[in-house]
Amino acid sequence: MAADANSTGDMYPDQSLYACNSGPDLARRINKSLLRSDVIEVLFSDYVFINRSFSRSKKRVFVTIGCLVLTGLDKSVETVLVEGSPQWLTDLTTRF
């Protein structure tokens, strides 16, 4: 309980002089820090899962686009997309 762990903030040579709530306060602070680390671990694992899923999806998109370019089908897909897009978008993208 010496130094930082006691609730009074003072250090005494005799353990019996510390405040009676120093031990329970220390246990609560330890439990809070462990709870925070558990929450961080759960959030980080979700982030890693989302990142891996996004990475796989990104690879699939690039492979699909590559196959379309190699086979020449990218021009027909582009035609369908341009015909289906609003006129303001076509004007905006072809203006520059």
CA–CA separation, 6 and 88 (whole Å)? 68
CA–CA separation, 72 and 66 (whole Å)? 10
Burial environment of residue 10 by CB neighbours within 10 A (0 to 12, 13 to 18, 19 or more):
exposed
Q: CA 25, 40, 42, 4: dihedral to nearest 10 degrees?
A: -20
CA–CA separation, 7 and 57 (whole Å)? 53
Tokens representing 93 are: 């993208």
Structural domain tally of the chain?
1
Q: Is the overall model pTM greater than 0.85, yes or no?
A: no
Q: How far is CA 19 from CA 11, 12, 82, 95, in A?
A: 11, 11, 75, 76
The domain in which residue 68 lies consists of 3-95
Confidence of residue 9 (pLDDT cuts 50, 70, 90): low
pLDDT in tens, 46-95: 777 777 778 888 888 899 989 988 898 989 988 998 899 999 988 888 87
